[in-house]
Amino acid sequence: MVYFNFAEIGECTSYEIEDKLEEEMSTETSRRIFIYDEFQYAATLNSAGEEKDNKSGLKPFWEMLDDGKLHKRTSFYTTFSIYRLVKYMDRINSECPIELKDGVWVNADMCLSNFAPNEIREFSQLFNFNSRKTDVQKKCTVPENDYSYGNVPCTEENDSWSCYETEPTFIKPGFLDRIMDLYDKSNSVVSDKMELRKKICSLSFDELFELVTKLLNTARKGYDLNFSDSIIFVIGNLDEAYTIAFNADPDMSPDQFHKITKNITIVDIKESLQKRFRNEQIARLGNVHLIYPAFSSKSFNEIIKLTLERYREEVLKLTGYNLKFKDSIVRFIYNESVFPTHGTRPIFSSIHEIVKSKLPLIVKEVYDRKLDADTFIFSAKGNKIYVTIQDKDGNKLHTLKYTEKTRVSNLRESSCDSEQSIVALHESGHFAVYAALMHKIPEKLCSKTVASNSGGFLMQDFDDVHKLHSFDMLMNKIKITLAGYCAERMIFGNEYMSVGSSSDLRKATSTASYIVRDYGYYSPIVTTYMMSPDIAEEGHMVKKDKNEIENEAIRSIIDSCIKEVYDILSKPCWRKLLKESAKYLSVNSNMSKKKMQELYDEVSEECKIEKKDSEYYKKKIEEIAI
C-alpha cells in the first residue's frame, strides 16, 4: 500500500511528486494499492469555478488515474551527467580510439597525451585512468571527502558494489551508478547490481558508447512507470453533496441525517465534483463510488459499545481487572459526544475523558483501601459517574462517585421558565398541524436545544421535504410553517406573542411567492421576473411594486392557510393534543417518538383529516379519455 495525503502535497512541484512516487514505489512490482487521501485538497477549481494556480504539480496523479502509467521525467542533473559522459567519450575517442578490457581503460596514457592538463582534470571527474594504484582507497580514485559529481567515498567498511578489488572501471562509480539506475528504469526491471556491472564491463567501447547514447535519449524523453494493474482509492470529504455537514447541532436527528445521506447518488456526487474539478478530471475518477451515509443513532451506540469492549479487553489483559458498563454510561457518553455530522472522533475523546481517565484513580483507591477487587462497574446518573467495586463473588466492596463536567447535556436541561413555555406552545402548534396534515408524527420535537440561536424546533421526516411537491403539498408546507405563529396568537393573544415567528413568516411567504411567481399555479407565465439566486428569499417577499397582482395572490394564499390552521387548532381533539404537548415540553426539553405517538393515537379517527389517495396520479392517467 502506498499512501498520499493531498493536504500535505498539494503545493509540491510535479518533479517533487514524481520523485516521491518513484522513491515510494521503485519498479519492483506494479501491483499496488494507492491511497489518495484528503483528495478535496487536489481541487483545480475555486469557488467561482475558475482555474486555481499552482496545481500543475498534481499532474502525475491524474496521469496515473487515467491509464495507470506515469511518465517520469529524468532529473536535470542525471541528464546532464550522461550528456557529459557521451560528449567526453566521443571527444577522446575521436583523437585516439579507446580500448577497454573487462571494463578497464588500458590505453589511457596514449589517449590522454593529446590533451592539456586542465582537460585531463575535467576527464578525471568521470573516468578512471590511473590504474596503477592498488590499495582500496586509491583504486576508487576519489579524493577523501570529495563527494562531487556523484562520487561515493569507498571505505573498507563499505561493501557496496562500487568498492571493488579489481582494476577500477572505465566510468567512475558515481556515474556508473546513474547509468545502471537509468538502465533499469528504462527497461522496467530491477537488475542484480553485480551482474549488471559485469555486463557493462564486458562491453567494448563502441557497445558502451551506444548504450550510453541510448540512455541519454531516454533521459531526455523520460520513461514510463507502469502501474496499470494496481488499484487506486480516492478518498475525500465532499461537503457539496453532504449539505447537512454544515449543521453542527447535536440535537438534530442522526437517523434523519442517515436517511438523507443514504439517498445521495452517483449523480449527486458528480454534480458536486463539478464545483471542484474539470469534467475530464471527474471522468478519470470513474463510476465506482463508495458513498458513505452519516451514522445512525444505532451505529453511534454500537461504536460506543465496541470501543468500551475493546478497552475492557485491554484493561483485563494489562491489569487483571474486569470492567462492566451499564446502559446508563452508554447513554451518558452518547449524549455528551454525538454530533451527527462530526463522525466518531468526538466519541473517542469523550470515552477517554469519562471512562479511561478514571481508571488510575480507581486502582489507587483499591490499593489504598486494600480491597480484594475483581470487577469495576460503571454507571451514570445526572452528571455523576458511579463506579461499583466488586470481588470475584460479585459482592459489593465499595462505590466511587465522580462529578463529570458536562459540556452538552447541561445545555439541554429544562429551564421550566416563561421562555421555554412560549417555545413549547409554538413547537406544539407545529406538531399538531403536522400530525393533522401529514397523518404521522414528526422525526423530532424539542423546546430547548444546545444551539444558542435556536429555542426549539420540529424536524420533519426526510421524505416529506425531498419528494416532488404538488400544489396541495406546498400549501400544507405553508400551513405547518405558520402553525407556531397561529398557536401563539390563539392562546397568548397579540400583545403576548413572541417575536420568534419572524423566520416562519419569511419562509411561508417565500413558499407562497414561488407558488405564484415560479410554479405557474396562478399564471401561465412560469417566471414573472429574473433574480439572482443570492437574493432569492428577499426577492420572493411581498412588496409594493408593479407586481401588485402577484402580491395580492400571495397574500390570499397566506390568509387562506392561516384560516385553515385556525380551523385545525380549534377542533377539540387537536386542541387537546396542542395542550398536552405544550404542557409536556414546558418541563421537558424534548419529546420522544413514543410520547408523540401516544398523543397522536388519542386523536379520534373522525377528527383526522381525510388522507389523499397515494394512487391518485396513476388513476388519473388510466382515466384519460381517448
pLDDT digits (tens, 9 = 90+) for 520-571: 776 655 454 444 444 445 555 555 455 677 888 899 999 999 999 999 999 9
Q: Which of 270-284, 348-362, 370-384, 405-419 is least confident?
A: 405-419
Q: Which alpha helices (DSSP H) does 521-591 contain, by range?
A: 536-539, 548-570, 572-587
Q: Which of 196, 221, 246 is the last residue of a domain?
A: 221
The answer to whether the beta carbons of residues 569 and 429 sit under 8 Å apart is: yes
Q: At residue 518, does pLDDT exceed 50?
A: yes
Q: Are residues 116 and 202 in the same domain?
A: yes
pLDDT tens column, 140-162: 344 444 434 334 343 433 333 33
> For the domain that residue 454 is a member of, what is the CATH number?
1.20.58.760
**CA distance linking residue 417 with residue 409, whole number of Å:** 18
Q: What is the pLDDT of residue 155?
A: 41
pTM of the model: 0.60
Domain range holding 487?
A: 418-619
Alpha helices by DSSP H, 126-278: 136-139, 173-187, 193-201, 205-221, 254-262, 266-273
- Whether residue 580 sits in one domain with residue 520: yes
Mean pLDDT of the chain: 81
Number of structural domains found in the chain:
4
- Position 480 in a domain: yes
For residues 50 and 178, state if they share a domain.
no
Contacts for 362 with CB less than 8 Å, ≥ 6 apart: 376, 387, 389, 400
Strands 444-446 and 457-459: antiparallel
Q: Tell me: do 511 and 384 sit in the same domain.
A: no
The answer to whether position 177 is within a domain reads: yes
- Residue 417, pLDDT > 60, answer yes
SS3 316: helix
Task: Identify the domain boundary among 411, 436, 469.
Answer: 411
Residue 193 has pLDDT above 60, yes or no: yes
pLDDT of residue 391: 94
Task: List, as one string, the DSSP characters of 267-314.
Answer: HHHHHHHTTTS-HHHHHHT-S----PPPPPHHHHHHHHHHHHHHHHHH
| Distant-in-sequence, close-in-space partners of 291: CB < 8 Å, separation ≥ 6 | 261, 264, 265, 266, 269
**Structural domain contains residue 507:** yes
| 545 found inside a domain | yes
pLDDT of residue 443: 86
Same domain, yes or no, for 507 and 584?
A: yes
326: in domain: yes
Site of grid cell 452519516: 294
* Cell, residue 416: 421550566
Residue 413 has pLDDT above 70, yes or no: no
Q: Is 104 contained in some domain?
A: yes
Tell me if 291 sits within 8 A of 269, measured CB to CB: yes
**Does 463 score more than 80 pLDDT?**
no
Distance, CA of 334 to CA of 356 (rounded, Å): 16
**Spatial separation of the C-alpha atoms in residues 47 and 29, rounded to whole Å:** 40
Q: Which of 427, 561, 563 is nearest to 487 (CA)?
A: 427
Give the model's confidence band at 609: pLDDT under 50 very low, under 70 low, under 90 confident, else very high. confident
Residue 581 included in any domain: yes
Predicted pLDDT at 165:
38
d(CA 195, CA 232): 35
Same domain, 490 and 615: yes
Residues 302, 265 share a domain: no
613 and 586 belong to one structural domain: yes
- Sort strands 223-226 and 69-72 into parallel, antiparallel or unpaired: antiparallel
HSE value, Cβ hemisphere, 13 Å, CA-based, for 383: 11
Query: What digits encode the pLDDT tens for the residues 205-257?
Result: 999 999 999 999 988 888 777 788 889 999 998 888 887 655 656 666 788 78
Provide mean pLDDT across the span 176-180.
Answer: 87
Instruction: Give me the residues paired with residue 33 across strands.
Output: 231
Give pLDDT, residue 154: 39
Q: What are phi and psi of 86, to 5 degrees?
A: -60, -45
Average pLDDT of the segment spanning 268-289: 91
Res. 584: pLDDT tops 70: yes
Q: Which of 113-122, 123-132, 321-330, 491-500 is least confident?
A: 123-132
Residue 586 and residue 538 share a domain: yes
**CATH number of the domain that 348 lies in?**
1.10.8.60
Q: What's the angle, vertex CA 148, arms to CA 145 and CA 154, rounded to 5?
A: 45
Query: What's the angle, vertex CA 246, arms to CA 245 and CA 251, rounded to 5?
Result: 85
Whether residues 208 and 351 share a domain: the answer is no
Q: How many CB atoms lie under 10 A from the CB of residue 150?
A: 17
| Same-domain status, 381 and 434 | no
Residue 56 has pLDDT above 80, yes or no: no
pLDDT at residue 131 above 60?
no
Same domain, 260 and 301: no
- C-alpha torsion sign, points 109, 112, 117, 121: negative
Q: What is the pLDDT of residues 278-287, one digit of tens each?
A: 999 999 999 9
625 within a domain of the structure (yes/no): no
Q: Which of 359, 384, 411 is the last residue of a domain?
A: 411
